[in-house]
Structure 1
């Protein structure tokens, strides 16, 4: 824990990991953000389709 590699909460021990290059971490975070943006856009399209289906069924 002193080297900031693991954390301990009560009886649960979690691996934090080894320190990484901040540039590598930035690139990784950008990739994750792009994946999440794509996922959100797909879910918005699905929601739009469901709303249209709901409206069509009510008419």
Structure 2
């Protein structure tokens, strides 16, 4: 981390959450969005990287 980044990080305080914020509604919204994107095949949806792309596998 550069000194400038450290200085900026140290000067940032915590974010204030509004009192009227409905965290449960937000969690439900994100759950619904997640459900839209989950695929039945799970991790089998991914292909094995080969040839020129094999080095990108983690």
Coarse TM-score class (shorter-chain normalised): 0.3 to 0.5
* Larger proportion of strand: 1
* Larger proportion of helix: 1
Return the structure number with greater relative CO, CA threshold 8 A, min gap 6: 1
TM-score calculated relative to the size of structure 1: 0.38
